[in-house]
Amino acid sequence: MRVLVIEDDRELAEAIGVGLRAEQMAVDLAFDGTAGLDRALATGYDVVVLDRDLPGVHGDEVCAELVAAGSRGRVLMLTASATIEARVDGLGLGADDYLPKPFAFAELVARIRALLRRAQPALPPILVHGDLVLDPARRHACRDGRRLELGPKEFAVLELLLAAQGRVVSAEELLERAWDEMADPFSTAVKVTVSRLRRKLGGPPVIETVAQTGYRI
């Protein structure tokens, strides 16, 4: 899952970023509306966590621009105002959810995960392929009853491949969805991660390389 946090309070934004990365999400940060809008339009984020009161381009305008552009990312709007009117205004602009400050971090994570489920075709809560079982909510994966000790990127890649349900997923899509903006698009990060993942999964092989296209389960 790739998330963009647009929040002008740098300390809060960085704390959210650290926390979401600990939840195995790929997170980018922007500290004003102008930079946030540019990034949101340029990259296919799954969820955009958007502060309403932003310098530069106001959060309301950022939200409206994303909706007008047909962005597939879901918008979770944050604001210091807890009034019903403010919530109605935010949702009326096209935000998918609304969370008043201050908030519990656990609730933020739960709302982001709920928005991700809404952003994608309906999938079972637990992904299964033969003897391979992955539980995204518990961050647990096993094969033939054996617990798999996967790193964050390995888990993210496996989740994306299983969720694709047999569709070929390109290396570019894996890089965009599982890594953040610091990832080098010319690196071998995806290839190396898939190689490590294959070793941990063991035999018989379940990840197929489709020449010049990508990978699939």
Residue 208, pLDDT > 50, answer yes
Fold observed for domain 2-119: Rossmann fold (3.40.50)
Token pair, residue 28, equals: 């980018």
Distance between first and last Cα of the chain? 18
Task: Name the pTM for this structure.
Answer: 0.65
Of 41-50, 54-63, 116-125, 141-150, minimum mean pLDDT range: 116-125
pLDDT of residue 132: 94
The predicted-structure confidence for 1-34, as pLDDT tens digits, reads as follows 889 999 999 999 999 999 998 888 889 999 999 9
Which is more confidently placed, 136 or 82? 136
The topology (CATH level 3) of 127-216 is Arc Repressor Mutant, subunit A (1.10.10)
The residue among 51 and 117 whose pLDDT is bigger is 51
Q: Check pLDDT > 80 for residue 148.
A: yes
> Phi and psi (nearest 5°) for 82?
-105, 15
pLDDT at 13: 95
- Confidence grade of residue 212 (pLDDT, cut at 50, 70, 90): confident
Query: Considering the chain, what is the average pLDDT of its residues?
Result: 87
Mean pLDDT of 200-217: 92
What pLDDT is attached to residue 3? 93
Average pLDDT score over residue span 55-75:
89
Q: What is the mean pLDDT of residues 50-73?
A: 89
Q: Is the pLDDT of residue 122 over 50?
A: no
| For residue 117, pLDDT beyond 90 | no
- Tens of pLDDT, residue by residue over 77-107, are 998 766 666 666 656 667 888 888 889 999 9
Long-range pairs, 166-170, Cβ under 8 A, ≥24: 166/216, 166/217, 167/216, 168/210, 168/213, 168/214, 168/215, 168/216, 169/214, 169/215, 169/216, 170/213, 170/214
Instruction: Count Cβ atoms within 10 A of the Cβ of residue 33 and give its class: 0-12 exposed, 13-18 middle, 19 or more buried.
Output: buried
Under a CB-based contact definition with an 8 Å cutoff, are residues 113 and 159 in contact? no
**Greater model confidence, 133 or 94:** 133
For tokens 């004003």, name the residue. 32
- Give the CA count within 13 Å in the CB-facing half-sphere of 150: 31
Break the chain into its structural domains and give their ranges: 2-119, 127-216
User: For 146-157, what is the mean pLDDT?
Assistant: 91
Tell me, what's the pLDDT at 87? 60
* Sign of the dihedral through C-alpha 205, 206, 211, 214: negative
Res 126: pLDDT:
84
